[in-house]
């Protein structure tokens, strides 16, 4: 057991040294690293050590976090080890397939979170619009009540004016009859002053109510403008979502009949270019020429990056919700551009 533990420690130390030297950009150091990996691969022939070595190489060759590292050097080392023992091709490809699937799941989760955020934003806007509509309805009710009060005041003003006219007629009648009683004249003069004051107060109230009605009407116009702006923004978001879904559907094999010949050729060229790149990588890694591991037939049944049908929409939400400004290149990665996918 002590010898096995010492051997394990030696392997870990030497492997760490090889990984540290692999960071160098010196061509001579790179050549030494290739020889060191080949020697380690021969010395530690058991499956656990080899799988550990291959796993570390595949992780470094497929990660994109460290842009300062030379990924081609890791790929060359993998190719050399494959030439040493072609039986490791299958586990290496299996490791790469798992890593690619994990990256695809991460991208899919990011897209889903963006979609959920857009749905929450639209729901929030709708709730705000409902609240504004309710507030506007209340304000309209208040204005209606004030208008009713204004009409009642106007009616009282008309009644006062009619009373004044009747009083004037009565005064004229008393004048024509040459009524000389001082008490009646004084009483009538007092009544005239009181009615005149009442008319003046009523006219002031009328002007005040008219100003209040004008302010309320201006406020209602402003609220209606805000409501129209919110509705236009919601329609804009829904149109963007429909456009995004229509643009991305052909990448998943949906709506191909609606594409033009030029768009179909673009889609076919994208997939053919991907197949050629995959075959080229297979040939560089020593894959047998007579039995390609990736073909159009196998891709259509086993590849997990492009599902045959688009993901289902959440139940109860409108079908026109999409993150604003999210596009997909022809290789399936997310970007911030807006435009037909076949123009990329």
Decide if 100 is inside a domain. no
- Is 234 found in the same domain as 171? yes
Report the distance separating Cα 57 and Cα 66, nearest Å. Answer: 14
- Is 298 found in the same domain as 218? yes
How confident is the prediction for the chain on average, in pLDDT? 75
Decide if 79 is inside a domain. yes
| Domain final residue pick, 38, 67, 84 | 84
Is residue 118 within 8 A of residue 324, CB to CB? The reply is yes
Among residues 93, 116, 94, 152, the alpha carbon closest in space to that of 284 is found at 93
Look at residue 71 in the predicted model and tell me its pLDDT. Answer: 60
Axis crossing angle, helix 2-21 with helix 27-43, rounded to the nearest 10: 160
Using only C-alpha atoms, what is the Rg of the chain?
Answer: 42
| Domain final residue pick, 38, 59, 84 | 84
Decide if 95 is inside a domain. no
- Is 161 found in the same domain as 74? no
78-108 pLDDT tens trace: 777 777 776 777 777 777 778 778 878 888 8
Cβ burial 200-237 (10 Å sphere, 16+ → b, else e): eebeebeeebeeeeeebeeeeeebeeeeeebeeebeeb
Confidence band for 259, pLDDT divided at 50, 70 and 90:
confident
- Is 321 found in the same domain as 201? yes
156-178 pLDDT tens trace: 999 998 998 888 888 888 777 77
DSSP state of 311: P
- Is 198 found in the same domain as 305? yes
- Is 256 found in the same domain as 168? yes
- Is 143 found in the same domain as 79? no
Task: Please determine, for residue 4, whether its predicted confidence score (pLDDT) is greater than 50.
Answer: no
- Is 253 found in the same domain as 144? yes
Cβ burial 283-305 (10 Å sphere, 16+ → b, else e): eebebeeeeebbeeeeeeeeeeb
Find the farthest-apart pair of alpha carbons in the chain and give their distance in angstroms, rounded. Answer: 144
Mean pLDDT of 195-224: 90
43-63 pLDDT tens trace: 766 667 767 777 777 777 776
Q: Where are the beta strands (DSSP E) in 89-154?
A: none
Distance of alpha carbon 47 from the chain centroid = 47
Domain count, the chain: 2
Q: For residue 326, what are the domain limits?
A: 122-344
Confidence band for 128, pLDDT divided at 50, 70 and 90:
very high
- Is 151 found in the same domain as 284? yes
Among residues 112, 100, 17, 26, the alpha carbon closest in space to that of 61 is found at 100
- Is 177 found in the same domain as 52? no
Provide the percentage of residues in the chain whose pLDDT is more than 90.
22
- Is 282 found in the same domain as 139? yes
- Is 143 found in the same domain as 11? no
Confidence band for 20, pLDDT divided at 50, 70 and 90:
confident
Token look-up 């990056």 returns 305
Report the distance separating Cα 340 and Cα 323, nearest Å. Answer: 16
Decide if 215 is inside a domain. yes
Mean pLDDT of 115-140: 92
């Amino acid at each position: 057991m002590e010898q096995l533990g010492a051997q394990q420690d030696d392997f870990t130390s030497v492997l760490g040294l090889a990984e540290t030297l692999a960071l160098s950009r010196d061509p001579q150091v790179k050549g030494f690293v290739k020889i060191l990996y080949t020697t380690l691969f021969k010395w530690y022939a058991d499956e656990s050590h080899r799988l550990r070595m291959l796993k570390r190489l595949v992780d470094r060759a497929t990660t994109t976090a460290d842009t300062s590292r030379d990924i081609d050097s890791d790929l060359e080392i993998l190719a050399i080890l494959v030439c040493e023992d072609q039986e490791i091709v299958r586990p290496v490809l299996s490791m790469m397939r798992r890593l690619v699937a994990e990256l695809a799941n991460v991208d899919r989760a990011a897209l889903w979170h963006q979609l959920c955020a857009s749905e929450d934003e639209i729901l929030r806007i709708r709730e705000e619009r409902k609240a504004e509509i309710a507030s506007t309805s209340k304000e309209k009710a208040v204005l209606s009540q004030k208008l009713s009060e204004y009409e009642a005041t106007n009616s009282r003003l008309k009644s006062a004016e009619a009373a004044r006219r009747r009083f004037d007629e009565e005064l004229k009648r008393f004048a024509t009859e040459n009524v000389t009683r001082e008490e009646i004249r004084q009483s009538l003069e007092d009544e005239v002053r009181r009615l005149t004051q009442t008319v003046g107060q009523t006219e002031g109230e009328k002007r005040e109510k008219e100003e209040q009605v004008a302010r309320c009407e201006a406020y209602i116009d402003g609220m209606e403008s805000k409501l129209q702006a919110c509705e236009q923004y919601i329609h804009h978001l829904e149109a963007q979502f429909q456009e995004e879904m229509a643009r991305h559907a052909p990448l998943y094999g949906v709506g191909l009949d609606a594409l033009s010949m030029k768009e179909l050729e673009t889609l076919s060229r994208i997939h053919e270019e991907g197949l050629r790149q995959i075959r080229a990588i297979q040939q560089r890694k020593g894959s047998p020429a007579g039995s390609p591991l990736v073909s159009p037939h196998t891709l259509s049944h086993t590849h997990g990056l492009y599902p045959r049908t688009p993901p289902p929409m959440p139940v109860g939400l409108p079908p026109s919700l999409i993150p604003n400004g999210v596009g997909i290149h022809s290789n399936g990665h997310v970007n911030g551009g807006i435009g037909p996918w076949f123009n990329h």
